[in-house]
Chain A
Amino acid sequence: MRLSGFGYLIKEGIKNVWNNRLMSVASVCVLISCLVLTGSAVLFSMNVANIVESVGGKNETTVYLDDNVSNVEAVYIGRDIEKVENVTEAKFYSKEEAFERYKDKLGKEVFENMKNENPLPDAYKITMEDLSKYDSTVKEITAIKGVNKVSSHSETAKKLTSINDLVRILSVAIVFVLGIISLFIISNTIRATMHTRRFEISIMKSVGATNAFVRIPFIVEGIVIGLIAAILSTVAMLFLYDGIVEIIVHIIRFPAIPFSKVAWYTAGIFTLAGVLVGALSGFISIRKYLKKEGNEILGW
């Protein structure tokens, strides 16, 4: 196939969008709602992950060592803990340190009688990379000789993680369902264009246009619809996101991801999704017509 005729076919595709503007607007709107909903779900999920991370960072997990562990042994245990997968950092927290901390917290009077006996064990403060793997990581750490027990990690982090998982599953479902709806609506739009242009299609075929050539304007039409929807969705996301974040921050303070940080990411994903859905719609809807010949195309 020669590339020389492409300019013309692309122009025809863009013209299709304009000539069929009512249906095009409808398609763009449907695609926008799909993209915005999907985008919201993804951004929500990203924010939750962000919160979990910051909460998780504050709530280090404490690994308590056995009472009779010597300082040298403790160093070795610390190395073993660091070797466990999912552990990013292990900081030694000596019993003296813990003792001082408690003294500050509870008041010196409580500890006056036990100057020489420190009831607290040595410990390591560890951070995990992925809190959802908390249970299996803890199991591995507990298996290390000299480890007594591991404190349970923050309940908030646990809950947030499970919410995040739920949102992730939901967003996959949303992407799937809305993707199919968009595909359906856009391919119907293109089919309407095709119906109005069936005469031209029949002539193209009778003068010997290849299927690829007949197809291009309709695929371009789909892509243009996809692109317009992607641009408008990004703009809509910008306003929606900042607005919603502001409202939520008023209710609960949380470290929101600023939109500027994800703007390009959002625009990129929207463009990709819009173009893909559009092109696919064009491809699907023309298939039926390509199999027909002559007057069949015209429905005579």
Chain B
Amino acid sequence: MDKIIEFRNVSKTYPSGTNALNNTSITIEKGEFVFIVGASGAGKSTFLKMIMHEETPSRGTIIVNGQNVSTMKRRKVPYLRRSMGIVFQDFRLINKMTVYDNVAFAMRAIGTRPSAVKSRVPYILDLVGLTHKAKSYPSELSGGEQQRVSLARALVNNPAIIIADEPTGNIDPEMSFEIIELLSKINEQGTTILVVTHEHDLVRHFNKRVVVIDKGKVVSDTKNIIDEDDEIEYTDEDFSFINDEFQESEQSGEALEEGE
């Protein structure tokens, strides 16, 4: 299985002195579905930002899709980002654009031919089940629907990786499951999925690989089912217990087997 994201001894210290990541190494393979969990301030968003080249590491090497992101030239960054779709917690939809235009925007912004936009957008809207809402505005949609638009926008340029930063943070639990379900479906087509979340209900429900980040380090990396409820409620001091509570059993690995 090919690696799609690789962190080698990556550290990140912000100019303010905050140590966001501390000598972290992690490998994510093509077609994997990975949950990334951790308390706020643990370094999850820095982790995501470095994949997208919004931040560069202070030390260490990051390889995404075969390219060294840490030494990447500025003008190459847009092309790196075209290989990933990003789903935000707050959806980030453009309010004055219809659902259709919000999705089409991602294609237009990278200079896709109008004819390609016309054929691709309806297909993606159908995939997320929003064909009938194409002409609606984001304000007319529920949270779950808005997040599906956001997902459609992330998917429309056919990225190799989907990065979802707390995709269920602003929507009700039922909808949350639907969104992850949808991501699983996309994962089955071979797309690598990274989901940052606080909601351990979700994490427990889907048998996926779980990476726990705390104090800028990967403290646990497992593909097991989490059956302890209170992982998120831990304060920093409590985190040392987490490792013991993850049970090492057979990897669920459905993502790995189905991918590509």
Which of A's residues lie within 8 Å of B, judged by CB?
Answer: 1-2, 4-9, 199-200, 202-211, 213, 293-294
Q: Is B105 close to A, CB under 8 A?
A: yes
Q: How far is the CA of A200 from the CA of B78 in the complex (A)?
A: 15
- For A202, the closest partner residue in chain B by CB is B92
Whether A209 pairs with B110 at a CB distance below 8 angstroms is yes
Q: How far is the CA of A199 from the CA of B109 in the complex (A)?
A: 13
Q: Interface stretch among B7-15, B36-44, B79-87? A: B79-87
Q: How far is the CA of A208 from the CA of B94 in the complex (A)?
A: 17
Q: Interface stretch among B111-119, B197-205, B226-234? A: B111-119
Question: Smallest CB–CB gap between B159 and chain A, Å?
Answer: 9
Q: Is B75 close to A, CB under 8 A?
A: yes
Question: Smallest CB–CB gap between B242 and chain A, Å?
Answer: 29
Q: Which of A4, A293, A294 contacts B111, CB < 8 Å? A: A4
- For A294, the closest partner residue in chain B by CB is B54
- For A11, the closest partner residue in chain B by CB is B108
Whether B114 pairs with A207 at a CB distance below 8 angstroms is no
Q: How far is the CA of A200 from the CA of B82 in the complex (A)?
A: 16
Which residues on B sit within 8 Å (CB–CB) of A1?
111
Q: Is B157 close to A, CB under 8 A?
A: yes
Whether A207 pairs with B106 at a CB distance below 8 angstroms is yes
- Majority DSSP secondary structure for residues of A touching B: helix
Residues of chain B in range 88-117 having any CB-CB distance to chain A below 8 Å: 92, 94, 105-106, 108-114
Which of B's residues lie within 8 Å of A, judged by CB?
Answer: 49, 52, 54-55, 75, 78-83, 85-86, 92, 94, 105-106, 108-114, 153, 157
Whether B111 pairs with A5 at a CB distance below 8 angstroms is yes
Whether A208 pairs with B49 at a CB distance below 8 angstroms is no
Residue among B49, B54, B75 having the largest count of chain A Cβ atoms under 10 Å: B54
Whether A210 pairs with B78 at a CB distance below 8 angstroms is yes
Q: A203-B94, A203-B105 are in contact. Are A208 and B157 (CB under 8 A)?
A: yes
Q: A209-B78, A294-B49 are in contact. Are A4 and B109 (CB under 8 A)?
A: no
Residue among A5, A7, A211 having the largest count of chain B Cβ atoms under 10 Å: A5
Q: How far is the CA of A300 from the CA of B114 in the complex (A)?
A: 33
Q: How far is the CA of A1 from the CA of B82 in the complex (A)?
A: 14
